[in-house]
Amino acid sequence: MGFKMKMLSSAAILAAGIATLPIEAMAKDMTIGFSSVGRFSLAFIAGETYLGRFAEERGWKYLSAIAENDAAKQSQDIDNLIARGVDAVIVMAVDSKAIESSVRAAHSEGIPVIGYMRPQDPGSTHLYDGFAGQDTVAQAYDAAIEMSKMLDEDSVAASDVKVLHVIGDPKDENALKRAEGFKKAAEEKGWEIVSEIICDGWSLDMALTGATNALESDSSINAVLLASDYLWPGVRTALQNRDKLHKRGEEGHVYIASQDVFPVAVDSIKEGYMDTSTLLDMYGMAVTAMDMTERLLAGEEFSETTTPKKVNWMSGVTITADNVETQEGLWGAEFHPDKK
Amino acid sequence: MNIPAVHTPRLSLSFLVDHFFYLVFLLVFVFFSLASDKFLTVSNLSSLLLQCSYYGVLVTGLSFVIISGDFDISVGTVAYVSMSVGMVTIAAGYPILLGVALTLLTGVAIGLLNALIIIYLHVPAFITTLGVLIAGRGVGHLLVAEQGGIEAPVALTQFAQFRIGPLYLEVAFMLLVMFIGQFVLTRTAFGRTVFAIGDNEKSARRIGIEINKMKLVLFTLSGFVASLAGLVYVTQVGYLHASFADGWEFTAISMAVIGGVSLFGGRGTILPGALLGITLIVMLQNGLTIIGLSPYIHPFVIGSMIFVAILADSLKNRRN
């Protein structure tokens, strides 16, 4: 390398160093507040942990507040975080409309608000400064398409596929979007949905009784589209009671396409009972949310033309027996009870 | 000349109100039997009864409390917390029997706590058990939810696979518990005292019944039976999770009331009343799925049934 090149390189490094200096300088003094919907799901705990870990990596102080699925409490939680002097708020909303006044309060103090996982109501008047969530229609669609590949490999004709569709909680927008994704795939592939069940409040009881009744009503069911593998233990028991729980490759196997990849799904995919589940990417969403937070604190703004965009919809990876041992960011494996 | 009186059978309102439930039960059963050939099969009836089993156990304890004129809306939470204690114990490597014993002891302890608050702090049963319902969920989440749920040991779930002919072992267990409950309620001094308190607490106190002692026993019993119901359920589902037994209390109260256990106290039977109430709700869920009705309609049908049952109970109570 010649002298000129060395000089140029040094100048470029110096320039880069100066450009990043404000972020580095401010990093140590920052406090990030996270307002969580609750800790009643391991997925939420994983998200909370990842955000805390990434804040710590940046040398930031991290405060979290748990709303326990109470929208009014969440609004108070955010107000309290503001009062405690946070520099940015990341929020996983119980009900985005109910926390609008808190978003407004944060903005009036110059505090950016970043949405995590749960999107903002389109009618909201005070918008988040950034958002990282998952496209749940695509999540369900991808799982069903992955299952269709397995059906093809096993030479099961589309016209022979009889589906039990477990919708989940009809009050949860994500459940409805997932149902939309599943139906789209089933329609495209020409599968017959012979029974649909709902599980109010993501009730495992309803998954168990609903699946039991559905299997009684139609013993030809040979595939299940499952809104979340949180409900899998109930469906699994119903299949077992009807002698329909068999591993892939065994006679009478019922194909399962699910979502989220909870620890119980990690186990069942490894064992061969569950065929596929699309990852609810708690890790990827946390990476994006924290990256956006850092940039917002450095003065950047996001729009639909920036990278990342203001609103970011991520797609999860479909997990099968082929990648369940190797996939990175698999929170269901990282937070598996056996690892404690 | 004496003209013999002509007795014509009359379908009076009181007759209808008294026998309304049995009529509805019969109609629903016949309707589903005709609507689908999948309904009236040994396999389906066997699985239908299995779905009744944990509710049967739960409603037995709850019926005692309701007949005595009180409420226990913490039973779902009691089942959750007690199972959490038991399953955490088992997951930590301790013997299953110890886990089961701790489950039942926790149920007794929470029931006793309910009773002590009601008796000594004079907090109404509804408020006390509501508080325990909310606080207990938090305790359960602390023990279980942060682990993402706990798989039940195979030894427990194998229990659910035993059958006596087409009858699951849990169903036989439920019938035994309900039979004992009905026996105690109708054939013992304790049972008669429960009815007396529910009928008129002040009068019962006047004739020397120790109300506080009875409440202590009833709420403790309810807690114990709720934990027992949790155990029956875990043997079926094989998994303890954050929404375990969520909402059981209201479903169980509805089932008892539909079966004729009066919300106003002093009236009701476990066999056949409560059992038929449970079976009707489960039969509706089962039959509506089998005939292929949209799942979104199910809550409307079942909710309407509960409303009508409570209306009938209210009419009966007014008349009495």
> What number is the ipTM of this complex?
0.78
Chain B residues inside the 8 Å CB shell of A203: 243, 246-247
- Tell me which of A37-41, A100-104, B229-233 is least confident: A37-41
> Could you say which architecture CATH assigns to the domain A3-128+282-313?
3-Layer(aba) Sandwich (3.40)
Domain locations along chain A: 3-128+282-313, 136-281+335-339
Give residues with Cβ within 8 angstroms of A139, minimum separation 6.
Answer: A178, A181, A259, A278, A280, A315, A316
What pLDDT does B320 receive? 64
pLDDT of residue A5: 47
Nearest CA-CA distance, residue A71 and chain B, Å? 16
Token pair, residue B260, equals: 């004729």
Q: Domain segments of chain B: what residues?
A: 44-315
Contacts (Cβ under 8 Å, ≥6 apart) of A101: A75
* Shortest distance, CA A5 to any CA of chain B (angstroms): 56
How far is residue A76's CA from residue A98's CA, in Å, rounded to a whole number? Answer: 11
pLDDT at A15 over 50: no
pLDDT band at A202 (very low <50, low <70, confident <90, very high): confident
Tell me which residue in A167, A208, A216 faces B237 most closely, judged by beta carbons: A208
Confirm if B32 and B290 have CB atoms less than 8 A apart.
yes
Instruction: Decide if A32 contacts A88 (C-beta within 8 A).
Output: yes
What are the residues facing A33 on neighbouring strands? A63, A89
Q: What is the CATH number of domain B44-315?
A: 1.10.3470
The predicted pLDDT at position B159 comes to 78
Q: What is the pLDDT of residue B10?
A: 56
In CATH terms, the fold of domain A136-281+335-339 is Rossmann fold (3.40.50)
Q: Cα–Cα distance between A150 and B305 in angstroms, integer?
A: 44
Residue of chain B with shortest Cα separation from A42: B148
Chain A residues touching residue B36 (CB < 8 angstroms)? 217
Interface test with A, best of B36, B239, B241 (most A CBs within 10 A): B241
Would you say residue A340 has pLDDT above 70? no
What pLDDT, on a 0 to 100 scale, did the predictor assign at position B249? 92
pLDDT of residue A203: 86
Q: Are B84 and B102 in contact (CB under 8 A)?
A: no
- What is the C-alpha separation between B154 and A247, in angstroms, rounded? 18
Question: A142-166: per-residue pLDDT in tens?
Answer: 999 999 999 999 999 999 999 999 9
Which two three-digit tokens encode residue B96?
């299953």
Closest CA to A181 of A257, A107, A255: A257
Rounded to 10 degrees, what is the CA torsion of A148, A153, A159, A161?
Answer: -60
Question: What is the C-alpha to C-alpha distance for residues A276 and B33, in angstroms, rounded to an integer?
Answer: 37
Chain B residues whose beta carbon lies within 8 Å of the beta carbon of residue A332:
148
Cα–Cα distance, B245 to A121 (Å, whole number): 31
User: Residue A269: pLDDT above 90?
Assistant: yes
Backbone angles phi, psi at B306, to 5 degrees: -65, -40
Residue A51 CA to residue A33 CA, distance in Å, equals 10
pLDDT of residue A177: 92
A196/B246 CB distance under 8 A: no
Q: Please state the three-class secondary structure of A309-327 as a single string.
A: CCEEEECCCEECCCCCCCC
pLDDT in tens, A208-249: 999 999 999 999 999 999 999 999 999 999 999 889 999 999
- With a CB cutoff of 8 Å and minimum separation 6, the contacts of A92 are A34, A35, A36, A37, A44, A47, A115, A116, A117, A118
pLDDT for A28 equals 59
The pLDDT of residue A105? 95
Q: What type of residue sits at position A54?
A: F
Q: How far is CA A69 from the centre of its chain?
A: 17
Give residue A8's pLDDT.
45
Amino acid identity of residue A159, one-letter, is S
Which residue type, as a one-letter code, is found at position B233?
Y
Nearest to B145 among A39, A198, A212 (CB): A39
Q: What chain A residue is nearest to B140 in terms of C-alpha separation?
A: A40
Nearest chain B residue to A238, by CA: B237
Average pLDDT of chain A is: 89
d(CA B24, CA B36): 18
Q: Enumerate the β-bridge partners of residue A259.
A: A278
Mean pLDDT for each consecutive 10-residue tract of chain B (320 residues)? Answer: 51 70 89 93 91 95 96 95 95 94 97 96 95 92 80 84 86 96 96 94 90 96 97 90 88 90 91 93 91 88 84 73
The answer to whether the Cβ–Cβ distance between A201 and B247 falls below 8 Å is yes
Q: How many CA atoms lie within 13 A of A7 on its CB side?
A: 3
Query: Could you give the angle at which helices B275-290 and B42-67 cross, rounded to 10 degrees?
Result: 140
Residue A95: is its pLDDT beyond 70? yes
Distance, in angstroms, between A85 CA and closest chain B CA? 28
The strand pairing partners of B167, in sequence order, are: B164
Which of the four pLDDT bands, split at 50, 70 and 90, describes residue A19? very low
Whether A23 has a pLDDT exceeding 50, the answer reads no
Contact in structure between B165 and B47 (CB atoms under 8 Å): no
Residue type for position A98: A
For residue A257, give both structure tokens: 């396409």
Angle at A262 between CA A261 and CA A266, to 5 degrees: 70
Phi and psi at residue B181, to the nearest 5°: -60, -45
Out of B147, B292, B299, the one facing A337 most closely (by C-beta) is B147
For residue A2, count CB atoms less than 10 angstroms from its CB and return exposed for 0-12, middle for 13-18, buried for 19 or more.
Answer: exposed
